[in-house]
């Protein structure tokens, strides 16, 4: 009798472990988004995910040149508005190459940190702030400058101090140390 009880308990434990693992894997798969042809895992940090996106090779190169890898792999949490390669291509000819030079590291850091907020702000959080602000919300970036968010129809839009607009094309790409929102235009701080 004790053997049957032990075997029944063991089988029940194994079954519960299997079901729990399957549910956890299913939830993680649901929370995983595809960006630049690669899965972005919520269990990985911002940099560890970004390096796999073929749409963010310029951003990754810039983060490395600006020596911000360690920072963006830190605890955070951070909200990163991640310009894709096409966003960098919109900048005037030669801008990216110039910013990537060692002597322009501080300018590059200023541009990149203008795309980062301290704290984790989901798309819903940003939209809630916009609604509360009567159609616009301002956020202080890690750079120290302000950036404005607003809605354009159903699209979440960022506006820099010069009035340039950047649209969020993929929102809520969760990371272990924050969230990424992919944007289609590089926004620039006042320099």
Domain ranges of the chain: 1-31, 34-183
Per residue in 86-145, pLDDT tens?
999 999 999 999 999 999 999 999 999 999 999 999 999 999 999 999 999 999 999 999
Give the per-residue pLDDT at 2.
61
Q: What is the pTM of this model?
A: 0.82
Rounded CA separation 165/115 (Å):
13
Per residue in 9-30, pLDDT tens?
545 555 555 544 444 444 444 5
> Per the structure block, which two tokens stand in for 121?
């702000």
* CATH code of the domain made up of 34-183: 2.30.180.10
């Amino acid at each position: 009798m004790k053997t049957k009880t032990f075997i029944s308990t063991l089988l029940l434990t194994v079954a519960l472990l299997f079901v729990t693992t399957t549910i956890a894997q299913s939830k993680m798969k649901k929370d995983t988004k595809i960006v630049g042809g690669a899965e972005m895992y919520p269990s990985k940090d911002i940099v560890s995910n970004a390096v796999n996106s073929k749409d963010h090779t310029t951003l990754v190169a810039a983060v490395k040149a600006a020596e911000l890898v360690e920072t963006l792999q830190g605890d955070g949490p951070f909200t990163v508005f991640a310009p894709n390669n096409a966003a960098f291509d919109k900048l005037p000819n030669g801008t990216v190459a110039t910013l990537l030079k060692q002597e322009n590291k501080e300018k590059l850091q200023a541009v990149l940190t203008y795309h980062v907020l301290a704290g984790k702000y989901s798309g819903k959080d940003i939209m809630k702030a916009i609604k509360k602000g009567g159609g616009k919300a301002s956020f202080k970036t890690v750079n120290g400058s302000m950036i404005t968010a607003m809605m354009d129809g159903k699209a979440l839009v960022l506006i820099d101090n010069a009035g340039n607009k950047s649209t969020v094309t993929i929102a809520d790409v969760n990371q272990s140390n924050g969230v990424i929102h992919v944007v289609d235009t590089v926004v620039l701080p006042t320099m």
